[in-house]
Amino acid sequence: MNILYFYSMAAEYFYDVMKNYVKEYLTFLRTTHSAEVVDTYYDVLFFFTELLYHREMCNGFEDITVAMTNSKLRNFYKRNTDKILTDKDCKIILKSFFNYLYDTYGIKCDKVMKGLEKKNNV
């Protein structure tokens, strides 16, 4: 077997893991937010997960870049939904998701969180 096979298997595994984290996070959000807010978070996190797998082939959290959480996601989202995802909304949703991962599972994404902190100080 070649290295690309293992690389794609790792990316597929991470994709499945991310989908499960998003599902758990949305279940958590339903206890504190309206259905409309949860639907918006779902849309953004769905396309974020799709971007990580189908466009970037991320194998883990360490592969996620600040660009993936900002311009790449917003462009991917717009291309697939014809809706505009503002920088502010993108930051709020992703920051909340990554904080949930840290608080619940201890998964720390320093590079991403520092990048989200720098954007517009929302």
Model pLDDT for residues 20-44, shown as the tens digit of each residue: 999 999 999 999 999 999 999 999 9
**Tokens 């797998």 correspond to what residue?**
53
Residue type, 93: I
Which pLDDT tens digit goes with each residue over 58-97?
999 999 999 999 999 999 999 999 999 999 999 999 999 9
* 104 in Cβ contact with 23 (< 8 Å): no
